[in-house]
């Protein structure tokens, strides 16, 4: 099977997962330091904002202004959410956006929706927690950086001023001690670099958990996308059926009707030979039309599935140009929709095997229980499939997502290739 790379922008290199000694010295680390400084400053701003917003909302809550003001404060949490997710990109991290706010019609409904916006409240909770923790932590770390930097430059300052720059009980007036202090400052800056990287790692972890979508929200987005995919796929199928009926079957039926009309004219004029030839053409066109209709119906739902998924796959394998061994163990028969999807999955996978893999043998194993239907297609071809770099299987993966299924590929260079399809059986639907 062939693959083609997809071009996509590369995110900035992250130092959050690196642990070697040179990590604090690398260029990406400086973006992490900037991230730490910015979130430390924003922690102070956050304390002031929460205090002011909370005080104003609390004082005005009993008035008509207080409730809309509180709703506005909750919605401001989304702005903080976007800001902190944007800052996280400085570290090379990518935090998924939460679901957008669905604004209902009417001001009263909008205020109500804003007051109950879980993303806004969760973002404000993150802002409060971040501000409480990072205000003292950021203060001490930044003070430590300033003090360490002063130690690093202390020999230069002492030589330039000609006066003691550091006091350790008594003024230090020795170049050797200043050089020792400078080395100490360099070591301290190196250690503080690790501290900032570690704190940024913890901050991103907390932001991902509180600012990103929850598992339930991810599930809703996935279902919405799957629903949109089902609608588009259904529309494309109907369009294809309409086109095939209009361009193929309908045209042939018109030809048959015209031939029969002409044959009727010949019969009326006692031209039996001409009528017989026209009827013969009409019969041939009728047979071709029936063939087209059977192919069209097979493309929607193969008639072989009337006997079950196992016999249908056996028939499909028998038509394949390569030898295909089929093993079926179905404890429960899947739903009609899942059966149809499974049939076309196997058909597409076997087509890919015969066209692109260079294999001379393939196996199909199908098993199901109450929880899942599992299809495994294996071939002894050249391998090398990488789904994330683009291949013909990406469309299959997207279609499986419509049924809450997944596609797994194990295809090392040189083979063998094992493609696993797992989908809920849909029993009882």
User: For the whole prediction, is pTM greater than 0.95?
Assistant: no
Write down which residue in 170, 191, 211 finishes a domain. Answer: 211
93 vs 390, more confident: 93
Q: Which of 348, 394, 415, 402 is nearest to 375 (CA)?
A: 348
Considering the domain architecture, whether residues 293 and 314 belong to the same structural domain is answered as no
Considering the domain architecture, whether residues 73 and 197 belong to the same structural domain is answered as yes
Considering the domain architecture, whether residues 246 and 341 belong to the same structural domain is answered as no
**DSSP readout, 229-259?**
HHHHHHHHHHHHHHHHIIIIIHHHHHHHHHH
Q: Which of 317, 361, 312 is nearest to 341 (CA)?
A: 312
Considering the domain architecture, whether residues 204 and 227 belong to the same structural domain is answered as no
CATH number of the domain encompassing residue 354:
3.30.565.10
Residue 2, in any domain of the structure? no
Per residue in 203-222, pLDDT (tens digit) is 999 999 899 888 777 777 66
Residue 14, in any domain of the structure? no
Which pair of tokens denotes residue 336? Answer: 């009609």
Write down which residue in 273, 300, 327 finishes a domain. Answer: 300
Residue 394, in any domain of the structure? yes
Which pair of tokens denotes residue 61? Answer: 């809550």
Considering the domain architecture, whether residues 118 and 37 belong to the same structural domain is answered as yes
Considering the domain architecture, whether residues 244 and 373 belong to the same structural domain is answered as no
Considering the domain architecture, whether residues 59 and 129 belong to the same structural domain is answered as yes
pLDDT > 70: what percent of the chain? 74
Domain boundaries, position 227: 223-300
Write down which residue in 211, 240, 265 finishes a domain. Answer: 211
Domains held by the chain: number:
3
Per residue in 57-78, pLDDT (tens digit) is 888 877 777 888 888 999 999 9
Q: Which of 416, 407, 348, 351 is nearest to 383 (CA)?
A: 416
Per residue in 214-256, pLDDT (tens digit) is 877 777 766 666 655 555 565 566 666 666 665 666 666 666 6
Per DSSP, the three-state class of 323 is coil
């Amino acid at each position: 099977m062939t693959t083609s790379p997809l071009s996509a922008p590369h995110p900035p290199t992250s130092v959050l997962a690196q642990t070697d000694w040179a990590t604090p010295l690398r260029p990406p680390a400086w973006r992490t330091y900037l991230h730490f400084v910015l979130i430390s400053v924003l922690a102070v701003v956050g304390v002031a904002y929460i205090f002011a917003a909370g005080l104003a909302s609390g004082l005005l809550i009993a008035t008509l202004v207080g409730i809309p003001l509180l709703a506005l404060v909750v919605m401001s949490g989304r702005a903080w959410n976007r800001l902190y997710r944007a800052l996280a990109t400085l570290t090379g991290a990518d935090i998924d956006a939460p679901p957008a706010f669905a604004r209902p019609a009417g001001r009263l409904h909008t205020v109500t929706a804003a007051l109950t916006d879980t993303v806004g409240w969760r973002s404000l909770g993150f802002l409060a927690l971040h501000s409480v923790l990072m205000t003292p932590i950021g203060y001490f770390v930044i003070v430590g950086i300033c003090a360490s930097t002063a130690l690093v430059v202390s020999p230069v300052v002492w030589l330039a001023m000609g006066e003691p720059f550091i006091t350790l009980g008594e003024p230090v007036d020795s170049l050797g001690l200043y050089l020792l202090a400078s080395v100490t400052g360099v070591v301290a800056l190196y250690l503080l670099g690790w501290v900032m990287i570690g704190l940024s790692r913890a901050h991103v972890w907390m932001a991902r958990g509180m600012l990103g979508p929850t598992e339930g929200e991810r599930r809703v987005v996935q279902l919405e996308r799957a629903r949109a995919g089902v609608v588009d796929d259904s529309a494309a199928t109907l369009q294809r059926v309409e086109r095939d009926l209009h361009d193929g079957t309908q045209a042939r039926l018109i030809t048959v009707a015209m031939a029969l009309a002409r044959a009727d004219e010949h019969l009326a004029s006692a031209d039996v030979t001409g009528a017989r030839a026209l009827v013969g053409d009409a019969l041939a066109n009728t047979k071709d039309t029936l063939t087209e209709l059977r192919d069209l119906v097979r493309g929607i739902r193969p008639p072989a599935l009337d006997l079950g998924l196992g016999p249908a796959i056996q028939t499909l394998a028998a038509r394949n140009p390569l030898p295909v061994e089929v093993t079926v163990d179905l404890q429960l028969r899947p739903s009609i929709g899942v059966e149809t999807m499974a049939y076309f999955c196997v058909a597409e996978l076997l087509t890919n095997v015969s066209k692109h893999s260079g294999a001379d043998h393939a196996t199909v194993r199908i098993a199901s229980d109450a929880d899942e239907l599992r299809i495994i297609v294996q071939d002894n071809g050249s391998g090398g499939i990488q789904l994330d770099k683009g291949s013909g299987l990406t469309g299959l993966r997207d279609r499986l997502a419509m049924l809450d299924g997944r596609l797994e590929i194990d295809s090392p260079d040189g083979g063998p290739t094992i493609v696993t399809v797992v989908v809920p059986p849909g029993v009882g639907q």
